[in-house]
Structure 1
Amino acid sequence: MASGRMGGPSAPPVRRDPYEVLCVSNDSSDQDIKAAYRKLALKYHPDKNASDPEASELFKEVAYSYSILSDPEKRRQYDAAGFEAFESEGIDMEIDLSSLGPVNTMFAALFSKLGVPIKTTISATVLEEALSGTVTVKPLPIGTSVTEKVDKQSAHFFGVTINDQQAQAGIVVRVTSAIQSKFKLLYFEQEANGGYDLALQEDSEKIGKVTSAAMYFLHFQVYRMDSVVNTLAMARDPEAAFFKRLEGLQPCEVSELKPGTHIFAVYGDNFFKSATYTIEALCAKSYEDTTEKLKEIESKILAKRDALRQFEIEYRKALTLFQEVTNKYNQEKQSVDELLKQRDNILSSFTIHRSVTNSSGDANSSCKTPDEDIRFGSPNGSLDVKNKLNKKKWFNLNLNRSDRKG
């Protein structure tokens, strides 16, 4: 659950080690990192430090660090290559709507309406009231449902009490909105001082004609699908959308509940108006077959995810080889086309040269004049030529004489 201000997805100018910022070690558990973040986020939250610009910058740094360490893939990349792993991409950060002015809230709502995913976080006021234990908790018996309307950036708290049998069977808590309101379903753990600390959070998603969010506590590792994992990588490489799709399956921090009362809350996540919702808590005993199928299918998905990681390596190698072969094919095709073009030009030039030579009466031409046919056409060719020359001479003489008489 990362937090941020509007327009703050970029890293701080001077970047410190995220582990140092959150005051945790590089082998800290996800739960330790989350607890450290919550503590520092509340300490430096803009709502509490409106007149302290330094606190605002520290809040951004804390949020930026948590956005890396809270994501298993980003944490792995950072551990392997440091900040260089993120040089070509931004880090997703969430927006605290309670810290935005009316104009920024309006723009955020507009982008959300246009389909641009806007991640939001819970206001510091709600978290502080929960930690102090000053919130009002309404009972939500197992098997019942409650329909309410919660104001924006506010929360309704519910207590779900379960016995040994229900705890052993597991429970499901779900929230739906028939008018497609945006909300968050929250689960709080009780602190020694009587307050409540946020442990789990699920954002509502549009499913058919409703928006919905649910939490499952089934005595085996339950996973949730984080659709924003590697979103930027997918945008740069559409093929990554397939290979990274299953990377969004992340284990929930809490997989079972003990007998007793557990605190859930519905948080209004709309930009301008309240959220109408229905919340209900169910015992998973009546869904025993369904839970077994869920356990089986998630096991298959995890196996498929591991297989896809290996297949992606093989695919990338094959794709690189294919591109090399394709480039060579194009080069060879271009080379063959060029050679054939040169050959056609040479043949064309040769043909045009012969035609011009014939029409100019070259002595070396194979075509013969009529006199040459007469000279070489028969054995008596020389006699025939002599007779014709005499006739021509006689004809010319007559013409000359006639001219003279005239």
Structure 2
Amino acid sequence: MFAALFSKLGVPIKTTVSATVLEEALHGEVNIRPLPLGQPLCRKVEKQCAHFYSVTITEKEAQAGFVCRVYSPEKSKLKLLYFDQEENGGLSLLLQEDSAKRGKVTSAGMYFLGFPVYRMDQTQNLVAAAKDPDAAFFKKLDGFQPCEINELKSGTHYFAVYGDNFFKSASYTIEALCAAPFMEEKENLRNVEAQILSKRVELSKFETEYKEVLAQFTEMTSRYTQEMQAIDELLKLRNEIQASYTVTSQIKRSGSSRSKNKSTFKESDEGQESNKKPSRDRSRKKRWYNLHLKVDQRKPC
């Protein structure tokens, strides 16, 4: 239930093929339908169920290359499965490809072209992108990994389409193709995948350079903010000083100076009075002292 909700929200959820389907295939209890080359087949598969197909190719077709694709215009979730036939006639799972959104459809494919072909698993990258877009960019090609099987031998091969929807059946179209008429596309695929591999190496080097420049940019951005604040404060102070040149400011200053003068004058008067009092006391003491001396002089010896 939770996986279905996350899938609806666009969060990729890695799912597995039902154990029931795998057991039935292993015991040979599945219905297998022939799939002719070059003849697309449209069907609908129930959720958690699979439709099995057999494809027979000649030696010439095997050497030219073989492709099996499944797609859904309704954007259903699908799995394309490839099985190996056991000695008892049962089928064991060898490969699986999960469908992904490509334009207006969801699709999955297996390409057996005689040279290394790569698959692109973006499940982990999409989760990482939600947390850190920059880091996800440098990890974007980490899911570009080679497929396990590059070519098929002549004979009969077995594929299946698995309904990977959580709540409803999945509509799909499956087709098997010989790659002989697609020689130009074959070379184009080889070249573009080689370029992707080179780009993955370049990304690793670019990541180091990017982080160094990003650190410098972060430092410069911080300094930019600090310098801007300092300039704004200086300009604000300058404006305040210029605004102080006004009559109102002058009146305030003159009123303030008068009050200061009054207080200073009052303090000076109080100081003078305090200075006068000691002089009177000294004169009195002096007179008393002189008088005392005169009295002593009049006494007979």
Change (3 A) 1:327 1:357: closer
Paired residues for 1:292-331 under 5 Å: 292-331=187-226
Paired residues for 1:186-201 under 5 Å: 186-201=81-96
Distance of 1:162 and 1:361 partners within structure 2: 110
In the TM superposition, what is the alpha-carbon distance from 1:250 to its structure 2 partner? 1.9
The match for 1:7 is: none
Distance of 1:196 and 1:337 partners within structure 2: 76
SS in 2 for 1:246: coil
The answer for unaligned runs of 5 or more in structure 1 is: 1-103, 363-406
The match for 2:113 is: 218
Is 2:122 the partner of 1:227? Answer: yes
In the TM superposition, what is the alpha-carbon distance from 1:323 to its structure 2 partner? 0.6
1:291 partner amino acid: K
The match for 2:159 is: 264
Is 2:39 the partner of 1:144? Answer: yes
Change (3 A) 1:257 1:153: same
Greater RCO between the two (CA within 8 Å, min separation 6)?
2
The match for 1:249 is: 144
1:252 partner amino acid: C
Query: Quick one: which of 153, 173, 177 aligns to 1:282?
Result: 177
Query: Quick one: which of 98, 117, 125 aligns to 1:203?
Result: 98
Is 2:65 the partner of 1:170? Answer: yes
In the TM superposition, what is the alpha-carbon distance from 1:252 to its structure 2 partner? 1.2
Distance of 2:11 and 2:131 partners within structure 1: 16
The match for 2:271 is: none
Give the structure with higher Rg (CA). Answer: 2
Distance of 2:253 and 2:32 partners within structure 1: 109
Distance of 2:199 and 2:190 partners within structure 1: 14
The match for 1:182 is: 77
TM-score normalised to the size of structure 2? 0.75
Paired residues for 1:78-93 under 5 Å: none
Distance of 2:166 and 2:256 partners within structure 1: 92
In the TM superposition, what is the alpha-carbon distance from 1:287 to its structure 2 partner? 0.3
The match for 1:400 is: none
User: 2:79–2:97: 8 Å Cα contact kept in structure 1?
Assistant: yes
Aligned-pair RMSD on alpha carbons? 2.7
SS in 1 for 2:48: coil
What is the number of equivalent residue pairs in this alignment? 257
**CA deviations over 1:174-197 (Å, ceiling 9, x no partner):** 123344433211111234554322
The match for 1:125 is: 20
Distance of 2:48 and 2:158 partners within structure 1: 18
Paired residues for 1:334-345 under 5 Å: 334-345=229-240
Instruction: State percent identity of aligned pairs.
Output: 60
In the TM superposition, what is the alpha-carbon distance from 1:234 to its structure 2 partner? 1.4
Distance of 2:119 and 2:171 partners within structure 1: 24
